[in-house]
Amino acid sequence: MGTTQLEAAPEPKYWHLKTVLSEALDSEFAVGEILPNERDLAARFGVARATLRQALEQLELEGRLQRRRGVGTTVAPPRVGVDVSATGHDWPGASGDAWQAVDCVRDAAPAAVADMLETAPDESVHVLRRTRVSHGQPVAAELLYVPAASVPDLTAIDAPSGAARARAVLRELQRLGLDGQDRAVELGSARADDAKELDRLPGAPVLVVTTRYFSEGTTAAVSMATYRADTCRLTFGDTPDVEIHHAPHTQAS
Chain residues binding a second copy by CB under 8 A are 15, 18, 58, 61-63, 79, 81, 86, 111-112, 115-116, 180-189, 202-203, 205, 207, 210, 212, 229-230, 232-239, 242-248
192 touching DNA, by CB under 7 A? no
H helix intervals, the chain: 13-28, 38-45, 49-61, 111-117, 163-173, 192-198
Interface residue with DNA, options 10, 96, 152, 177 (CB under 7 A) = 10
Question: Which residue from 113, 22, 118, 40 is spatially nearest to 76, judged by alpha carbons?
Answer: 22
Question: Which residue from 109, 106, 107, 84 is spatially nearest to 97, judged by alpha carbons?
Answer: 84
Interface residue with DNA, options 72, 88, 121, 180 (CB under 7 A) = 72
Shortest separation between residue 16's beta carbon and DNA, angstroms: 7
59 touching DNA, by CB under 7 A? no
By the 8 A CB rule, do 244 and 233 touch?
yes
Cβ-based nearer residue to a second copy, 189 or 215:
189
Cβ-based nearer residue to a second copy, 32 or 121:
121
Shortest separation between residue 184's beta carbon and DNA, angstroms: 26
Residue 121 identity: P
- Quick count: other Cβ atoms within 10 Å of Cβ 126? 26
Cβ-based nearer residue to DNA, 29 or 214:
29
Residue 90 phi/psi, 5-degree rounding, is -100, 155
106 touching DNA, by CB under 7 A? no
At residue 168, the 3 state secondary structure works out as helix
Cβ-based nearer residue to a second copy, 21 or 169:
21
73 touching DNA, by CB under 7 A? yes
Query: What is the CA 1 to chain-centroid distance, rounded?
Result: 47
Q: Quick one: what does residue 89 bind among DNA, a second copy, none, with the CB cut-off 5 to 8 Å set by partner type? A: none
Angle at 137 between CA 132 and CA 143, to 5 degrees: 25
Question: Which residue from 226, 237, 220, 80 is spatially nearest to 143, judged by alpha carbons?
Answer: 226
53 touching DNA, by CB under 7 A? yes
Cβ-based nearer residue to DNA, 124 or 189:
189
68 touching DNA, by CB under 7 A? yes
Strands 137-146 and 218-228: antiparallel
18 touching DNA, by CB under 7 A? no
62 touching DNA, by CB under 7 A? no
Site residue total, DNA (CB under 7 A): 28
By the 8 A CB rule, do 125 and 115 touch?
no
Residues forming the site for DNA (CB under 7 A): 9-10, 12-15, 35, 37-40, 46-51, 53-54, 67-73, 201, 203
